[in-house]
Structure 1
Amino acid sequence: MAVSARRGQPLTIEEINATVLRLVDAGGVEGLSMRKLAAELNVNPMSLYHHVENKDALLRGACSAVALGLRLPPDDGTPWQEQLHALAHAYRSVARSHPALWSYVNGHPDLVEQEGGMWPVFNRVLTAAGVPAGELVRVRTVLYTFVSGLLSAETSGLLVELDRTGDADGVFESAVALIVSGLEVRYS
């Protein structure tokens, strides 16, 4: 790993990911560029290419960093209803903490890592709820899409206009309760 004469210390992928996330939070994905990132890190823009291929790789790295920070429910025997509630809140925390990145990822499904992060936990919880293996992907997709639509409305401000109470937390809790009730009725 080369050391920049201006920096005096090696550049790390963790530092790159954290800075990308900070820049996207501040100016959106469209405001992110290799030059802007290099300036923030006090390195030559070409130095970044030793660590990442392109802007897509930067965004993948930021997504991975966020996914690693998710507080996912452990497999500890807690009822699936509580685990689903915790999973929904973990997902919502991403949308609320990093709305620009979250919105971008939802518009670019190729950036959604379906092998790691929340997906195995989601599968485990749905299996505990009684969803048969043959229906798991479809049910997961429906619920993910439902919650993502709700969070899109929340992060854009539309939810407050539609609900008129200004109680986004209450609306989210109602949505999770409806999901749990629906799964209980269908698969219990």
Structure 2
Amino acid sequence: MEKAKRPPRGTRKRDVPLTEAGIYAAALQLIDADGVEALTMRKLATVLDANPMSLYHHVPNKDALLRGVARMVGAQFRTVTLEDSPWQERIRLLATDFRTLAHRHPKLMAYSFGQPDFIQSEDPFWAALTATLDSAGVPHAEVPQIAAVMCAVVIGVLTAELNGALHQWSNLTPPAPAARENRPPDTDAGPDGDRMFRLVLDTIITGLESRLTADRDGQRAGQ
């Protein structure tokens, strides 16, 4: 009787077939644990108990893998459904939910924030943000530009928060002696992250309120 040949090492069948969703989920676990830089296709294949070459049937390279993981995480974003609430409250909820997602996967988000194609037009966050700005009375043609600026501000702040820069900067003392003398005494060990983020949102919302008021006043003056 002819002896059965053993399959080459690394090509044995898995009990569960590989899927893009499974690959992305395993990659996210590795990123959460060790960061984007430590992720390799070979390490991912080991976690999945698969032949490394079989991964390339689903994702062509690491860049595509990271984009897929970022899309999967972005889909977890909770779409704001408070249509009857003031637009200011909807903006706060949107940004706060976005921050919560960033803190849930800080290593992935810190990497993704540096990618120019991180936010796409079909993303739940972008769709909810532009809809909120439109309902607030922002001229339709200006909605994408204002949404882009708001995204840039929020992402910049979150990047600084995740890498510790925001905390360090907020502890810097003013250089002028008079400013230091007039500064109220510190009441805690340092600025609270939640309070700092609320300050960012207050600044954004106040600026947009002023812009919308000026536009309405200009329209009335021109009538």
TM-score, normalised via structure 1 length: 0.90
Counterparts of 1:16-31 in structure 2, within 5 Å, are 16-31=23-38
Q: Which residue of 144, 157, 162 maps to 1:150?
A: 157
Q: Distance in 2 between matches of 1:111 and 1:136?
A: 19
Q: Which residue of 169, 181, 202 maps to 1:177?
A: 202
Would you say the 8 A contact 1:129–1:184 is kept in 2?
no
Counterparts of 1:38-53 in structure 2, within 5 Å, are 38-53=45-60
Tell which structure's C-alpha radius of gyration is larger.
Answer: 2
Would you say the 8 A contact 2:78–2:124 is kept in 1?
no
Q: Distance in 2 between matches of 1:44 and 1:72?
A: 38
Decide which moves more: 53-62 or 167-176.
53-62
Would you say the 8 A contact 2:113–2:159 is kept in 1?
no
Q: Distance in 2 between matches of 1:53 and 1:146?
A: 33
Q: Distance in 2 between matches of 1:111 and 1:178?
A: 24
**Cα distance, 1:76 vs. partner?**
3.2
**Cα distance, 1:176 vs. partner?**
0.9
Q: Distance in 1 between matches of 2:167 and 2:200?
A: 15
Counterpart check, 1:121 vs 2:128: yes
Amino acid at match of 1:91: F
Q: Distance in 2 between matches of 1:111 and 1:89?
A: 18
Measured against aligned partners, the alpha-carbon deviations of 1:85-107 in whole angstroms (never above 9, x if no partner) come to 11101211222122222122222
Measured against aligned partners, the alpha-carbon deviations of 1:82-129 in whole angstroms (never above 9, x if no partner) come to 111111012112221222221222222134323322111110011122
**Cα distance, 1:162 vs. partner?**
2.1
| Structure 1 unmatched runs, 5+ | none
Counterpart check, 1:101 vs 2:101: no
**Cα distance, 1:6 vs. partner?**
5.3
Q: Distance in 2 between matches of 1:132 and 1:121?
A: 16
Give RMSD over aligned pairs. 1.7
**Cα distance, 1:131 vs. partner?**
1.2
Q: Distance in 2 between matches of 1:159 and 1:185?
A: 26
Identity %: 42
Would you say the 8 A contact 1:6–1:42 is kept in 2?
no
How many residues end up aligned between the 2 structures? 185
| Structure 2 unmatched runs, 5+ | 1-10, 172-189, 214-223
Q: Distance in 2 between matches of 1:134 and 1:17?
A: 37
Higher percent of residues as helix: 1
Measured against aligned partners, the alpha-carbon deviations of 1:14-68 in whole angstroms (never above 9, x if no partner) come to 2111111111122221111110110111111111112111111211111111111
- SS of the residue 1:32 aligns to: coil
Counterpart check, 1:61 vs 2:68: yes
Would you say the 8 A contact 1:20–1:32 is kept in 2?
yes
Decide which moves more: 153-162 or 5-14.
5-14
Counterpart check, 1:86 vs 2:93: yes
Structure 1 runs (4+) greater than 4 angstroms displaced: none
Q: Distance in 2 between matches of 1:147 and 1:9?
A: 40
